[in-house]
Amino acid sequence: MSYSHSISTRMINLVDKASIIPIIEIEDTRHAVPLAETLINAGMSVIEVVLRTANALEAIREIAQNTTCTVGAGSLVSVDDVIKAREAGASFGVSPGSTPALVDACMDLDFPYLPGGVTASEMMNLAEKGITMLKFFPAEPSGGIPYLKSIMGPLPHLRFCPTGGVNESNFMDYLSLENVACVGGSWIAPTKSINDQDWETISYNVERNLSIRDGVLKIN
Ligand code: 3PG
Protein backbone atom coordinates (compact mmCIF):
# COMPACT_ATOMS: atom_id res chain seq x y z
CA MET A 1 0.00 0.00 0.00
CA SER A 2 1.38 3.40 -0.95
CA TYR A 3 1.61 6.18 1.63
CA SER A 4 -0.83 8.31 -0.35
CA HIS A 5 -3.41 5.53 -0.25
CA SER A 6 -2.83 5.14 3.44
CA ILE A 7 -3.17 8.88 4.27
CA SER A 8 -6.40 9.08 2.29
CA THR A 9 -7.82 5.89 3.78
CA ARG A 10 -7.04 7.13 7.26
CA MET A 11 -8.72 10.41 6.37
CA ILE A 12 -11.85 8.51 5.29
CA ASN A 13 -11.84 6.63 8.58
CA LEU A 14 -11.57 9.90 10.49
CA VAL A 15 -14.38 11.69 8.66
CA ASP A 16 -16.64 8.63 8.66
CA LYS A 17 -17.06 8.98 12.40
CA ALA A 18 -17.74 12.70 12.07
CA SER A 19 -20.47 13.56 9.52
CA ILE A 20 -20.24 17.24 10.59
CA ILE A 21 -16.81 18.80 11.19
CA PRO A 22 -16.95 22.17 12.95
CA ILE A 23 -14.44 24.56 11.36
CA ILE A 24 -13.04 26.77 14.06
CA GLU A 25 -11.11 30.00 14.25
CA ILE A 26 -9.51 30.53 17.67
CA GLU A 27 -8.24 33.99 18.48
CA ASP A 28 -7.52 33.42 22.19
CA THR A 29 -5.67 30.23 23.14
CA ARG A 30 -7.50 30.16 26.47
CA HIS A 31 -10.70 29.37 24.58
CA ALA A 32 -9.28 26.24 22.93
CA VAL A 33 -9.87 23.61 25.63
CA PRO A 34 -13.29 24.83 26.87
CA LEU A 35 -14.45 25.03 23.27
CA ALA A 36 -13.22 21.52 22.43
CA GLU A 37 -14.79 20.13 25.59
CA THR A 38 -18.09 21.82 24.76
CA LEU A 39 -18.07 20.25 21.30
CA ILE A 40 -17.15 16.78 22.58
CA ASN A 41 -19.70 16.84 25.37
CA ALA A 42 -22.43 17.88 22.96
CA GLY A 43 -21.45 15.16 20.46
CA MET A 44 -18.90 16.38 17.92
CA SER A 45 -15.36 15.12 18.44
CA VAL A 46 -13.67 15.67 15.07
CA ILE A 47 -12.87 19.34 14.53
CA GLU A 48 -10.75 21.53 12.29
CA VAL A 49 -8.87 24.54 13.62
CA VAL A 50 -7.87 26.90 10.84
CA LEU A 51 -4.40 28.40 10.73
CA ARG A 52 -5.79 31.86 10.18
CA THR A 53 -5.00 33.34 13.57
CA ALA A 54 -1.69 33.92 15.32
CA ASN A 55 -2.60 31.44 18.06
CA ALA A 56 -3.97 28.62 15.92
CA LEU A 57 -1.02 26.25 16.37
CA GLU A 58 -0.96 26.82 20.10
CA ALA A 59 -4.72 26.19 20.21
CA ILE A 60 -4.25 22.89 18.34
CA ARG A 61 -1.51 21.91 20.81
CA GLU A 62 -3.77 22.67 23.79
CA ILE A 63 -6.66 20.66 22.36
CA ALA A 64 -4.47 17.72 21.31
CA GLN A 65 -2.76 17.54 24.71
CA ASN A 66 -5.72 18.16 26.99
CA THR A 67 -8.84 16.73 25.36
CA THR A 68 -9.98 13.62 23.50
CA CYS A 69 -10.92 15.68 20.45
CA THR A 70 -9.55 14.60 17.08
CA VAL A 71 -8.21 17.95 15.98
CA GLY A 72 -7.16 18.72 12.44
CA ALA A 73 -5.38 21.77 11.10
CA GLY A 74 -7.02 23.68 8.29
CA SER A 75 -6.01 26.18 5.66
CA LEU A 76 -2.61 24.51 5.20
CA VAL A 77 -1.04 26.34 2.27
CA SER A 78 2.67 25.56 2.65
CA VAL A 79 4.89 22.64 3.57
CA ASP A 80 5.93 24.63 6.61
CA ASP A 81 2.26 24.69 7.71
CA VAL A 82 2.10 20.90 7.38
CA ILE A 83 5.23 20.39 9.48
CA LYS A 84 4.11 22.83 12.18
CA ALA A 85 0.54 21.47 12.31
CA ARG A 86 1.77 17.91 12.75
CA GLU A 87 4.30 18.99 15.34
CA ALA A 88 1.55 20.80 17.28
CA GLY A 89 -0.36 17.52 17.51
CA ALA A 90 -2.89 17.81 14.69
CA SER A 91 -4.31 14.42 13.66
CA PHE A 92 -4.94 15.51 10.08
CA GLY A 93 -4.45 18.41 7.70
CA VAL A 94 -6.86 20.22 5.40
CA SER A 95 -6.14 22.55 2.46
CA PRO A 96 -8.51 24.63 0.34
CA GLY A 97 -6.80 23.24 -2.77
CA SER A 98 -3.61 21.28 -3.24
CA THR A 99 -0.11 21.53 -4.63
CA PRO A 100 2.28 18.69 -5.47
CA ALA A 101 4.59 19.90 -2.66
CA LEU A 102 1.81 19.72 -0.06
CA VAL A 103 0.69 16.27 -1.18
CA ASP A 104 4.28 15.00 -1.19
CA ALA A 105 4.94 16.44 2.28
CA CYS A 106 1.85 14.74 3.74
CA MET A 107 2.81 11.47 2.07
CA ASP A 108 6.39 11.69 3.31
CA LEU A 109 5.21 12.42 6.84
CA ASP A 110 2.39 9.84 6.62
CA PHE A 111 0.03 12.61 7.74
CA PRO A 112 -3.71 12.11 6.97
CA TYR A 113 -4.61 14.80 4.50
CA LEU A 114 -7.78 16.31 3.05
CA PRO A 115 -6.79 18.46 0.08
CA GLY A 116 -9.33 20.45 -1.89
CA GLY A 117 -10.38 19.74 -5.44
CA VAL A 118 -13.04 21.50 -7.49
CA THR A 119 -12.38 20.89 -11.17
CA ALA A 120 -12.44 17.41 -12.68
CA SER A 121 -8.74 17.78 -13.50
CA GLU A 122 -7.82 18.74 -9.92
CA MET A 123 -9.78 15.75 -8.66
CA MET A 124 -8.18 13.42 -11.20
CA ASN A 125 -4.68 14.64 -10.34
CA LEU A 126 -5.29 13.90 -6.67
CA ALA A 127 -6.87 10.52 -7.45
CA GLU A 128 -3.80 9.68 -9.52
CA LYS A 129 -1.76 10.14 -6.34
CA GLY A 130 -4.09 7.80 -4.45
CA ILE A 131 -6.07 10.55 -2.72
CA THR A 132 -9.76 9.75 -3.06
CA MET A 133 -11.20 11.72 -0.13
CA LEU A 134 -11.28 15.42 -1.04
CA LYS A 135 -12.47 18.70 0.37
CA PHE A 136 -14.86 20.47 -1.99
CA PHE A 137 -14.35 24.19 -1.38
CA PRO A 138 -15.95 26.67 -1.66
CA ALA A 139 -18.91 24.33 -2.03
CA GLU A 140 -21.81 26.68 -2.66
CA PRO A 141 -20.08 29.17 -5.01
CA SER A 142 -18.52 26.24 -6.91
CA GLY A 143 -21.84 24.70 -7.85
CA GLY A 144 -22.86 22.92 -4.67
CA ILE A 145 -25.11 19.90 -4.80
CA PRO A 146 -25.79 19.84 -8.59
CA TYR A 147 -22.02 19.98 -9.23
CA LEU A 148 -21.25 17.11 -6.87
CA LYS A 149 -24.05 15.06 -8.43
CA SER A 150 -22.61 15.69 -11.90
CA ILE A 151 -19.09 14.69 -10.90
CA MET A 152 -20.35 11.40 -9.45
CA GLY A 153 -20.95 9.96 -12.95
CA PRO A 154 -17.41 10.16 -14.34
CA LEU A 155 -15.61 10.04 -10.96
CA PRO A 156 -17.66 7.62 -8.82
CA HIS A 157 -14.68 6.50 -6.72
CA LEU A 158 -14.18 9.94 -5.12
CA ARG A 159 -15.70 11.08 -1.84
CA PHE A 160 -16.02 14.65 -0.62
CA CYS A 161 -16.23 16.90 2.39
CA PRO A 162 -18.02 20.02 1.10
CA THR A 163 -17.30 23.24 3.02
CA GLY A 164 -17.92 26.90 2.30
CA GLY A 165 -21.54 28.00 2.45
CA VAL A 166 -22.68 24.79 4.11
CA ASN A 167 -25.04 25.47 7.00
CA GLU A 168 -27.97 24.20 9.02
CA SER A 169 -30.43 24.62 6.17
CA ASN A 170 -28.49 22.71 3.50
CA PHE A 171 -26.12 20.23 5.17
CA MET A 172 -28.62 17.38 5.02
CA ASP A 173 -28.95 17.80 1.26
CA TYR A 174 -25.17 17.43 0.98
CA LEU A 175 -25.03 14.44 3.34
CA SER A 176 -27.72 12.69 1.31
CA LEU A 177 -25.36 12.51 -1.69
CA GLU A 178 -23.62 9.18 -2.15
CA ASN A 179 -20.25 10.84 -2.74
CA VAL A 180 -20.41 13.08 0.35
CA ALA A 181 -18.76 11.51 3.39
CA CYS A 182 -19.13 14.49 5.71
CA VAL A 183 -19.59 18.26 5.68
CA GLY A 184 -17.68 21.04 7.39
CA GLY A 185 -18.36 24.63 8.30
CA SER A 186 -18.21 27.48 10.73
CA TRP A 187 -21.92 27.57 11.54
CA ILE A 188 -21.63 25.21 14.53
CA ALA A 189 -19.07 27.33 16.41
CA PRO A 190 -19.05 30.84 14.94
CA THR A 191 -16.03 32.98 15.81
CA LYS A 192 -18.20 35.49 17.66
CA SER A 193 -19.64 32.79 19.93
CA ILE A 194 -16.12 31.54 20.65
CA ASN A 195 -14.86 35.03 21.47
CA ASP A 196 -17.90 35.60 23.70
CA GLN A 197 -17.20 32.23 25.37
CA ASP A 198 -20.82 31.43 24.64
CA TRP A 199 -20.45 27.69 25.15
CA GLU A 200 -24.17 27.34 25.69
CA THR A 201 -25.00 28.49 22.16
CA ILE A 202 -22.29 26.28 20.66
CA SER A 203 -23.52 23.28 22.63
CA TYR A 204 -27.07 24.03 21.48
CA ASN A 205 -25.89 24.26 17.85
CA VAL A 206 -24.20 20.85 18.08
CA GLU A 207 -27.20 19.14 19.63
CA ARG A 208 -29.66 20.79 17.26
CA ASN A 209 -27.70 19.86 14.14
CA LEU A 210 -27.15 16.28 15.31
CA SER A 211 -30.90 16.03 15.90
CA ILE A 212 -31.49 17.25 12.35
CA ARG A 213 -28.95 14.73 11.06
CA ASP A 214 -30.59 11.90 12.97
CA GLY A 215 -34.05 12.85 11.72
CA VAL A 216 -35.24 13.69 15.22
CA LEU A 217 -35.73 17.35 14.28
CA LYS A 218 -37.12 18.43 10.91
CA ILE A 219 -36.53 21.97 9.77
CA ASN A 220 -37.79 21.98 6.16
C1 3PG B 1 -13.48 26.61 5.18
O2 3PG B 1 -12.35 26.84 5.59
O3 3PG B 1 -13.80 25.53 4.70
C4 3PG B 1 -14.49 27.70 5.20
O5 3PG B 1 -13.95 28.86 5.73
C6 3PG B 1 -15.75 27.36 5.90
O7 3PG B 1 -16.70 28.13 5.29
P8 3PG B 1 -18.02 28.65 6.04
O9 3PG B 1 -17.59 29.77 6.94
O10 3PG B 1 -18.91 29.13 4.91
O11 3PG B 1 -18.61 27.51 6.80
Shortest-distance Cα residue to atom 3 of ligand 1: 163
Residue 217 has a pLDDT of: 86
Q: 136: which residues sit within 8 A by CB, 6+ positions away?
A: 116, 117, 118, 142, 148, 160, 161, 162, 163
Name the β-bridge partners of 93: 73, 113
Residue 14 has a pLDDT of: 87
The atom number, within ligand 1, closest to the CA of 50 reads 2
Residue to mutate (ligand 1; options 163, 188, 194; most atoms within 8 A of CB):
163
Shortest-distance Cα residue to atom 9 of ligand 1: 186
The rounded Å distance from CA 31 to ligand 1 centre is: 20
Residue 1 has a pLDDT of: 44
183-185: strand order across its sheet? 113-114, 92-94, 70-74, 46-50, 20-24, 183-185
7 vs 148, residue with greater confidence: 148
Shortest-distance Cα residue to atom 7 of ligand 1: 164
Residue type, 125: N
The rounded Å distance from CA 23 to ligand 1 centre is: 7
Confirm whether 27 is a catalytic residue: no
Residue spans per domain, the chain: 5-206
Residue 23 has a pLDDT of: 98
Average pLDDT of the residues of the chain: 95
pLDDT digits (tens, 9 = 90+) for 147-202: 999 999 999 999 999 999 999 999 999 999 999 999 999 999 999 999 999 999 99
Pocket of ligand 1 (CB under 6 A): 23, 50, 74, 137, 163-166, 184-187
Q: What is the pTM of this model?
A: 0.95
Domain 5-206 = CATH 1.10.10.10: no
Confirm whether 128 is a catalytic residue: no
pLDDT digits (tens, 9 = 90+) for 16-53: 878 999 999 999 999 999 999 999 999 999 999 999 99
Instruction: List, in sequence order, the alpha helices (H) in 110-176.
Output: 120-128, 144-152, 171-175
Residue 6 has a pLDDT of: 81
The rounded Å distance from CA 164 to ligand 1 centre is: 4
Q: Quote the Cα angle for 82-122-112, to 5°.
A: 30
DSSP state letters, 59-94? HHHHHHHHS--EEEEE---SHHHHHHHHHHT-SEEE
Catalytic site residue from 48, 58, 140, 200 = 48
Residue 2: pLDDT band with limits 50, 70, 90: low
pLDDT at 112 over 50: yes
The rounded Å distance from CA 1 to ligand 1 centre is: 32
pLDDT digits (tens, 9 = 90+) for 44-74: 999 999 999 999 999 999 999 999 999 999 9
Name the β-bridge partners of 136: 162
The atom number, within ligand 1, closest to the CA of 75 reads 2
Catalytic site residue from 135, 140, 178, 200 = 135
Residue 4 has a pLDDT of: 58
The atom number, within ligand 1, closest to the CA of 163 reads 3
Residue 220 has a pLDDT of: 65
Q: 148: which residues sit within 8 A by CB, 6+ positions away?
A: 136, 160, 162, 174, 177, 179, 180
Contact 61, 71 (CB under 8 A): no
